[in-house]
Amino acid sequence: MIPAAFDYQAPASVEEALQLLSGGGDTEIKVLAGGQSLLPVLKMRLAAPDLVVDLAKIPGLTGIREDGDRIVVGAMTTHHEVANDPLVAEHLLLLQEAAKTVADPQVRHRGTLGGALVHADPAGDLLAPVLALDAELVISGAAGRRTVPAAEFFQGLFTTAVGEDEILTEIRFPRHTGWGARYEKFTRVVQQWSVVSVAASVRMDGGAIAEAVVALTNMGSTPIRASSVEQALAGCAATAEAVGAAVAGVAEGTSPPADLNGDADYRRQLAVVLARRAVLAAAGVS
């Protein structure tokens, strides 16, 4: 597998990276942020950029920190770091659960949260948790930094709010401390893209669900927030019957893809079953 020839630059700062991205004209540029999706695409010659800009050498884009009431994850933080970080475990259990399921250990050590989000593969496992957890995505461009809510970030198949001359630098999450979480991933073999998955996190109050967030992976061209299900779950008893009833409409209005692993109808069925299981598991009921 040999990619078409391309130039390679590894800038040392965000400013330098932005300069490279804006200086292109007709030059096709791809940003390398871990490369676990980009490199196969290049090797299979599904893309042939003139220039690859590698963000790996820019200091300050990695790591996880507290910032007031927010937990901030640098865009170049690897899935492995996300999955093993104590702040993430304490405040963003859903993100941790999902990060643990990404591909295999090798990929988790190379692939990054920001790379996965900007690549925006609808079967990617981190999009739904980021959407469900109401993250804000900080994008840097020539005009400075702007912050986009997750609900506006994912715009279509492999398309996000990040412009061609911009880069995603950090992801800011409101704390979900004490929330239970489950990323219910459905695959045929362990190392496979999600056929469908459901990300759910709940705050319990007594035996009932006080608040819930639910989002779906691979049920459309972008991750989907199941807002009406979230409303139905608020105040819902944590029983199979009650949760089952609350999530019954989770697939309504979705246009899931059809492929070798299932058609749209089957994916809708999966979404309902997986949503029930995810919410119950997040609520501590298995």
Partner 1 sequence: MTTTEARPSTPEKEVGKARTRKEDQRLITGRSRYTDSISLTGMLHLAMVRSPFAHARITGIDVGAAKAADGVIAVLTGADLADTQGSLPNAWPIVPEQKAPAHPSIAVDTVNFAGEVVAAVVARTPQAARDAAELVDVDYDELAPVLDLAEAATDATVIHPDLGTNVSAHFVFDSAQAGTGGDVDAAIEQTRADGGVVVERTLRQNRLIPAFMEPRSWVCDPTGDQIVLYAATQIPHVLRVLLALTLGISESKLRIIAPDVGGGFGGKLQVNPEEVITLLAATRLGKPVKYTETRSESMVAAHHGRDQIQKLTMSATRDGKITGFKVQLLADMGAYLAVLGGGVPALGAFMFNAIYKIPAYQFDLTTVFTNKTWTDAYRGAGRPEATFGVERMLDELAAELAMEPLELRQLNWIKHEEFPFTTVSGLQYDSGNYEAATAKAKELFGYDELRAEQQRRRESGDPVQLGIGISTFTEMCGLAPSRILGALAYAAGGWEAASIRMLPTGKVEVVTGSTPHGQGHETAWSQIVADQLGVPFEDIEVLHGDTQIAPKGMDTYGSRSLVVGGQAVINAAQKVIEKAKPLAAHLLEASADDLEFAGGKFTVKGTDTSISMPELAFAAFAAHNLPDGMEPSLDSEATFDPVTFSFPHGTHLAAMEVDTETGMVKLRKYVCVDDIGNVVNPLIAEGQVHGGLAQGIAQAMFEDAVFDEQGTLVSGSFVDYLVPSAADLPHFDTAMTTTPSTTNTLGVKGVGEAGTIASTPAIVNGAIDAVRHLGVADLPMPLSPWAVWRALQGATPASGSAAAAGTGLGGNDPGGTESARMGAGGVADGRDSASDKTEGDRA
260 bridge partner residues: none
User: Could you give the angle at the alpha carbon of 226 between the alpha carbons of 271 and 190, nearest 5°?
Assistant: 40
Minimum distance from CB of 76 to partner 1 (Å)?
25
CA distances from 188 to 215, 218, 262 (A): 21, 15, 11
Q: Nearest approach, Cβ of 90 to partner 1 (angstroms)?
A: 28
Can you tell me which of 31, 162, 270, 280 binds partner 1, judged by CB under 8 A?
Answer: 270
Structure tokens that stand for 154 in this block: 């994912």
Which residue(s) pair with 70 in the sheet? 67, 174
Q: Is 286 in the site for partner 1 (CB under 8 A)?
A: no
Nearer to partner 1, 43 or 109 (CB): 43
Contact pattern from residue 44 through residue 83 relative to partner 1, giving x for each residue in contact according to CB under 8 A and a dash for the rest: xx--------------------------------------
State the number of CA atoms in the 13 A half-sphere of 186 facing the CB. 23
Q: Nearest CA to 118 among 108, 107, 130?
A: 130
* Ordered strands of the 196-205 beta sheet: 180-186, 196-205, 208-217, 224-225
Give the total of residues touching partner 1 (CB under 8 A).
Answer: 24
Determine, following the binding rule CB under 8 A, whether residue 105 of this chain makes contact with partner 1.
no
Q: By CB under 8 A, what part of segment 179-238 binds partner 1?
A: 186, 188-193, 195
CB of 226 to partner 1, least distance (A): 18
Classify the phi-psi angles of 178: left when phi > 0, otherwise alpha if psi is within -120 to 50, otherwise beta. left
Binding to partner 1 by residue 106, rule CB under 8 A? no
Beta carbons of 277 and 250 less than 8 angstroms apart? no
Q: Which span sits near partner 1 by CB under 8 A: 18-26, 106-114, 155-163, 263-271?
A: 263-271
Q: Least distance to partner 1 from the beta carbon of 133, Å?
A: 26
In one-letter notation, the amino acid at residue 124 is: G
Query: What tokens appear for 182 in the block?
Result: 């489950």
- Of the pair 154, 186, the CB lying nearest partner 1 is at 186
Nearer to partner 1 by Cβ, of 58 and 274: the residue is: 274
Binding site for partner 1 (CB under 8 A): 1-2, 4-5, 44-45, 186, 188-193, 195, 259-263, 266, 269-270, 273-274
